[in-house]
Amino acid sequence: MVFESGGGGGSAVQDLVVQRLVSAFARAIIYDRAGLGWSDPPPPGRSFLERADDLHALLKATGEAPPYVIVGSSFGGLTARAFAFRYPDEVVGMVLLDAAEEQKYFPTMARMRAWHEDELKTEAGRAASGELRRRAEPLVQRARGFTGAEKAWLLDVLSRPGHFLAALEELSAIDATPPKMQQAGGFGRLGDMPLIVLSADKPVTGDMAVWQEGAAEAQTRLAALSSHSAHITGVGLGHSIALERPTLVAAAIAAVLKAVAGAPLDTSEVQRLAADPTAVPSAE
């Protein structure tokens, strides 16, 4: 399992709880893209495909051989699919968590890019002054599922202005994406690859409400990329699915892994957990 975190300041640290759950039945790898977290700064202006090449080089350097199942959150869904596009023989399954979809993402980002860039510049300033850490610390300390050390890592990320400036730089991948890749299916189709698309249903308000326009249709298009897929929307679920409902994500990963091994794509447990925010995983 390889996790691709979301954009806009997302960090692999956010996937630690899911990684710990998944490690009970699979090898699970989280990493920070160039410039995020503690990774080295990136060269500017790279495409999604070049970022996928970064991940491929990392996996090769660490001896993590294919095949891979990739979990992509939000912006990371595009990087996950770029990896599958670039290395189709190495990816055998995928889980997408309220992931970006071409036909929706690129036109909406054209409208919202300046707003997101200003937000990330502001966050970088707040990280430098310590304000971001001070504001977040009570929330982080109350967060469930993280150890004390992991909470310290989360707070350390929030103290790094370079992390948010790297998230700002990631938007340059938009400029390097050719028009044909900005259309539905432009990052490639997935054949009969086992695929589960988990989607949020919590309303988005304020300046971000524009992201909700056509979002449901975009998630449906993602599920249609594979003939061996399921699309499940979580009741009361927000955009940060891995943080909000890690057991749901772990169940989706388990279902995809079983399908990769040759079993039918059985999503009954995933649907049960998605339908009830208070449900606990079965003792299977």
* Fold adopted by 2-113+171-275: Rossmann fold (3.40.50)
Task: Compare 14 and 283 and report the one with higher pLDDT.
Answer: 14
On the question of pLDDT at 174 being above 70, the answer is yes
Q: Give the pLDDT of residue 42.
A: 80
**Predicted confidence (pLDDT) per residue in 242-259, tens digit:** 999 999 999 999 999 999
Percent of the chain clearing pLDDT 90 (strictly above)? 89
Q: Give the pLDDT of residue 284.
A: 61
On the question of pLDDT at 109 being above 80, the answer is yes
On the question of pLDDT at 69 being above 80, the answer is yes
Closest C-alpha among 249, 233, 240, 198 to residue 18: 249
Q: Give the pLDDT of residue 117.
A: 96
Task: Compare 41 and 128 and report the one with higher pLDDT.
Answer: 128
pLDDT, the chain, mean: 94
CA pair distance 140, 16, nearest whole angstrom: 14
Residues 25-53: what's their mean pLDDT?
93
Q: Give the pLDDT of residue 44.
A: 87
CB pairs under 8 A, 24+ apart, for 55-63?
A: 55/2, 55/4, 55/31, 55/79, 55/83, 56/83, 56/86, 56/87, 56/90, 58/31, 59/2, 59/29
- Show Cβ contacts of residue 47 under 8 Å, excluding neighbours closer than 6 positions: 173, 176, 177
**Predicted confidence (pLDDT) per residue in 122-166, tens digit:** 999 999 999 999 999 999 999 888 899 999 999 999 999 999 999
Residues 191-201: what's their mean pLDDT?
97
Q: Give the pLDDT of residue 13.
A: 84
Q: Give the pLDDT of residue 283.
A: 67
pLDDT band at 43 (very low <50, low <70, confident <90, very high): confident
Q: Give the pLDDT of residue 225.
A: 98
Lowest mean pLDDT among 7-11, 13-17, 40-44, 89-93: 7-11
